[in-house]
Copies of this chain bind each other. A is one copy, B any other.
Amino acid sequence: LGIPSYTSDRYYETTPVGVVNGLAYNTRGGSTLYIESTAEKLVSSLSGPPKEPSLKTTGKLGEVMSESSTIAYTFAKNFLYTLDPKNTFFHTHSIHLHSPQGDQAKEGPSAGVTMATSLLSLALNEPVLNDLGMTGELTITGKVITIGGVKEKTIAAKRSGLKSIIIPTNNQTSFEELPDYIKNGIDVKYAKEYKDVFEIAFPNKKYLLENLKN
């Protein structure tokens, strides 16, 4: 009953730059799930064509989750350009994004915001707020849209000792309808657009959001 197919030992007490807690669920229950990104600087060579920056993923990601990583990458590049046009990180580095417990197949679109946050953490060299988990499908323009498994994900977040979670605004009703014993003890925040996630995840970088022209 409620046994998640992949459980999370919480192997980061505080998540370093590039690592973000996601929330996953399937028919057997919910779990937390790290997204980790690292960068490799592109070496310029005197001869030959310059290397192309690219995104590589591992962690047994299914088709939809692989597409999510592509969407997160496109979005993160555009969003960073809007926040800080001088930041050339994504032009000068290739990225490797991984989701640990590499033998567990992972699928679904709800890690979109988690992946984008992992990439931006790396590009800004800024770790995310501690003990924060997040879930939400991300569209390529930065909308955060509905996900499933709000109940299972909330239980998993508490079991892993997270203190706050970000879920899509469209899921607010399904969260509020949960029984109190599930809702209590965790701070929930709602995101309608990715900038709402950013503001919560990177409190020290919030000032960059002033560069968004809405």
Contacts and interface: CB of A to CB of B under 8 A. Distances in A.
Contacts of A140: 36-38, 58, 96, 98, 100
Contact of A170 (B11, B19, B139, B146): B11
Contacts of A18: 141
A170 B47 CA distance: 48
A192 B9 CA distance: 12
Interface string A15-51: 0101100000000000000101110100101011111
A124 B47 CA distance: 28
B47 A49 contact: yes
Nearest to A112: B102
Q: How large is the interface on A (under 10, 10 to 19, 20 to 34, 35 or more residues)?
A: 35 or more
Contact of A64 (B11, B102, B107): B102
A140 B34 CA distance: 11
Interface in A112-157: 112, 137, 139-141, 143, 145-146
Q: How many chain copies?
A: 3
Contacts of A141: 16, 18-19, 36, 38
Contacts of A137: 100-102
A100 B11 contact: no
Interface stretch (A65-73, A176-184, A204-212): A65-73
Contacts of A40: 74, 77-78
Interface of A: 9, 11-12, 16, 18-19, 34, 36-38, 40, 43, 45, 47-52, 56, 58-60, 63-64, 67-68, 70-71, 74-75, 77-78, 91, 96, 98, 100-103, 107-109, 112, 137, 139-141, 143, 145-146, 170, 192
7 contacts: A36-B140, A38-B140, A47-B47, A96-B140, A100-B139, A100-B143, A101-B145
Given A36-B140, A38-B141, 16 more contacts: A9-B145, A11-B145, A36-B141, A38-B78, A43-B91, A45-B49, A47-B49, A64-B103, A68-B102, A70-B96, A71-B98, A96-B140, A98-B140, A100-B137, A100-B140, A101-B145
